[in-house]
Amino acid sequence: MKKVLVIGGGPSGLMAAIAAARAGAQTTVLEAGAKPGRKLLLTGNGRCNLTNLNERIASMYDSSDPEFARAMVRSVLSRFGVQDTLDFFRQEGLLTCVEHQTYVYPVTGQSGSVLEILLRTLQALKVKMKYSEEVIEIERRDPAPGSEENTCLWNVRTKTWNYEADSVILCCGSRAVPSTGSNGSGYELCRMLGLDVTDVLPGLTAVSCRLPAPEARAYVPGSRNKNSAAQEMKNMEDPFYAAAGTRTQAVVSVLSDGEVIAQERGQLQFTQQDLSGIVVFNLSRTVVRALHQGHDVTISLDLLPDHTEDQVDILIQSMREKYDGISEEKILCGLVPSRMIPAVLALCELTGNRLAYILKHFTLKASRLREFDSAQVCVGGVRTTELNPDTLECVSEDLKGIYLAGELIDIDGPCGGYNLQWAWSSGYTAGLHAAQ
Ligand SMILES: Cc1cc2nc3c(=O)[nH]c(=O)nc-3n(C[C@H](O)[C@H](O)[C@H](O)COP(=O)(O)OP(=O)(O)OC[C@H]3O[C@@H](n4cnc5c(N)ncnc54)[C@H](O)[C@@H]3O)c2cc1C
């Protein structure tokens, strides 16, 4: 019977162990923490958005090698896709429901149910679960030349024990929210094996922003806005201060060195230093890559996406004609949430642009990367080209029997259940092949 070791008891590791055990392997999971699935419990605000019914799911993932990665995702999802995932959970007794047309959650509304179902399945399959076992080294054990000995190929060392295995599946996660156990040690194990690991950055985060170009800061406020909202903003050194708490619909564009590189529409939220909301989280993957490459990154908000700039201009003009001497603040009260008015006026004054232009191009500078603590996933990881896209086994001859799954691989998806689907699909694929 083949011996399979799974390193990491998160969603990808638990699914890998189920697939390996179902395929007949003697399977053990080594988990560094005292409990499995700590990040899984946090998902979907504790409700676990476990997959997404988007028919074009494979095109939603990103990577440093996007073409190769998408081919890998397509191949892996063709073996164990969204429907297989839903069937798996249903057969194990978990019912799901759909929100926002495509987001799938357990009907219980509790991520704990998903974890419970996985652990129950593992127990029935007699998978050994070893907790507080952090893997620190993986070594190849080549039999002595001429030896007839039929030994396991891999030796896996934790702080307390040595485990032997024919196949090892690394499912150690990323560096996002390290307190859940995914603290980046998986990347170190992969580097020790000689695998190429890209730079790893926090993804799916809010985006910290500040006033736009330095020349805008140096702009001397003109006379058109006597209440000097801009001065107030400057004093606060933060354009969001007044707008904090506002939620509004917008088309959000990410510009790198002045060129639009990504765009999405949705509800965004202002906090005191950040832009937040699902739309911003999704775009943050592009922002961090561009900032990391040293580009000048700006975020432009179209705050009135259903109206053209001309239409907005005409409406503003008609208000000025109808109400003689009306202040810009009063004009804006029908166009943007009240807390945003000072920020809009400040940007008009600082840049010298018209109100209608600012409402359609509310532009801020993306200032810095957020911390791993506040990231839902990581951008980057072990290069996809290190792996066979059909089996997720390492392509190097020296690493036969080593498989990877989950977020450790340089593939990340947007919000909406895509990252867990990658964990289920890649875990299942690696587990199945590792057992064969
Ligand atoms: C707050 C939050 C909300 C999220 N919500 C969603 C959502 O609703 N839908 C969605 O699709 N995605 C969501 N995600 C992303 C999703 O949780 C991850 O993509 C997913 O958990 C990755 O699974 P994984 O098994 O690859 O890694 P992880 O879940 O990180 O599991 C890795 C495991 O490996 C263990 N480990 C690490 N190193 C070692 C070692 N050396 N030895 C032994 N064990 C080790 C860790 O302790 C950990 O248990 C969310 C993430 C966060 C942080």
What are the φ/ψ torsions at residue 113 (nearest 5 degrees)? -65, -40
DSSP symbols for 67-128: HHHHHHHHHHHHHS-HHHHHHHHHHTT--EEEETTTEEEETT--HHHHHHHHHHHHHHTT-E
HSE of 320, CA atoms in CB hemisphere, 13 A = 9
Residue 189 CA: nearest ligand 1 atom is 41
Distance of alpha carbon 87 from alpha carbon 379, whole angstroms: 30
How far, in Å, is the centroid of ligand 1 from the Cα of 226?
Answer: 52
Residue pair 49/420 in contact (Cβ under 8 Å)? The answer is yes
Distance of alpha carbon 155 from alpha carbon 5, whole angstroms: 10
How far, in Å, is the centroid of ligand 1 from the Cα of 91?
Answer: 24
Residue pair 349/176 in contact (Cβ under 8 Å)? The answer is no
Output the pLDDT for position 212: 66
Residue pair 163/5 in contact (Cβ under 8 Å)? The answer is yes
Residue pair 409/36 in contact (Cβ under 8 Å)? The answer is no
How far, in Å, is the centroid of ligand 1 from the Cα of 177?
Answer: 9
Residue pair 105/44 in contact (Cβ under 8 Å)? The answer is yes
Determine which residue's CA is closest to atom 47 belonging to ligand 1: 181
Residue 186 CA: nearest ligand 1 atom is 38
How far, in Å, is the centroid of ligand 1 from the Cα of 83?
Answer: 22
Domain ranges of the chain: 3-202+377-435, 207-368
Residue pair 143/154 in contact (Cβ under 8 Å)? The answer is no
Question: Where does ligand 1 bind, in terms of residues with CB under 6 Å?
Answer: 7-13, 30-33, 38-40, 42-44, 48-49, 134-135, 171-173, 176-177, 181-182, 185-186, 376-377, 406-407, 417-420, 423
Beta strands in 109-258 (DSSP E): 128-130, 135-140, 154-158, 162-165, 167-170, 201-203, 207-210, 247-256
Residue 14 CA: nearest ligand 1 atom is 25
Determine which residue's CA is closest to atom 35 belonging to ligand 1: 8
How far, in Å, is the centroid of ligand 1 from the Cα of 420?
Answer: 9
How far, in Å, is the centroid of ligand 1 from the Cα of 192?
Answer: 22
Determine which residue's CA is closest to atom 31 belonging to ligand 1: 10
Residue pair 299/253 in contact (Cβ under 8 Å)? The answer is yes
Q: What angle do CA 317, 318, 319 make, to 5 degrees?
A: 90
User: Which pLDDT tens digits describe the chain residue by residue (436 residues)?
Assistant: 999 999 999 999 999 999 999 999 999 999 999 999 999 999 999 999 999 999 999 999 999 999 999 999 999 999 999 999 999 999 999 999 999 999 999 999 999 999 999 999 999 999 999 999 999 999 998 877 777 666 779 999 999 999 999 999 999 999 999 999 999 999 999 999 999 999 999 999 999 987 664 444 433 333 344 455 555 555 445 556 778 899 999 999 999 999 999 999 999 999 887 899 999 999 999 999 999 999 999 999 999 999 999 999 999 999 999 999 999 999 999 999 999 998 899 889 888 999 999 999 999 999 877 899 999 999 999 999 999 999 999 999 999 999 999 999 999 999 999 999 999 999 999 999 999 9
Output the pLDDT for position 370: 84
Output the pLDDT for position 149: 64
Output the pLDDT for position 243: 86
- Would you mind telling me the total number of residues written for the chain in this entry? 436
How far, in Å, is the centroid of ligand 1 from the Cα of 47?
Answer: 15
Amino acid at position 127, single letter: V
Q: Which architecture, in CATH terms, is 3-202+377-435?
A: 3-Layer(bba) Sandwich (3.50)
For residue 19, give the nearest of 171, 184, 182 by alpha carbon.
Answer: 171
Token pair listed for 319:
């208000």
Determine which residue's CA is closest to atom 8 belonging to ligand 1: 44
Determine which residue's CA is closest to atom 41 belonging to ligand 1: 135
Beta strands in 303-340 (DSSP E): none
Residue 48 CA: nearest ligand 1 atom is 8
Its pTM stands at 0.92
Token pair listed for 307:
């109206």
Output the pLDDT for position 273: 79
